Amino acid sequence: MLLLMLQLLLLQLLLLLQQLLLLLLLLLQLMLLLLSCCYCCFCFYCSYYYYYNNYYYCYCCCFCCFCRYC
């Protein structure tokens, strides 16, 4: 009986770990999406701009940067 309870507890822990891992993967994808907004030509509310290869890029916090892609 004790062995069965331990197995159930282990199974619950594994399921919880799997859910946490899936959540972490989703958060990672969201962060990559937010980071991709900073590679744009025209940004507002940026920390500063830099000019490279005939384009203006902004170095900014991606959460406050509204971008329009070239």
- Please tell me the predicted confidence (pLDDT) of residue 63: 46
Q: Which residue has the higher pLDDT, 51 or 7?
A: 7
pLDDT tens-digit readout, 34-57: 666 555 444 455 556 667 777 766
Q: Where are the alpha helices (DSSP H) in 37-63?
A: none
Q: What DSSP character marks residue 39?
A: S
- How far is residue 38's CA from residue 70's CA, in Å, rounded to a whole number? 12
The pLDDT tens digits for 19-30 are 999 999 999 887
Helix (H, G, I), strand (E, B) or coil at 53: coil
Work out how many domains the chain is built from and give that number: 1
Distances (CA, A) of 3 to 10, 11, 14, 50: 10, 12, 16, 63
Backbone angles phi, psi at 49, to 5 degrees: -105, 155
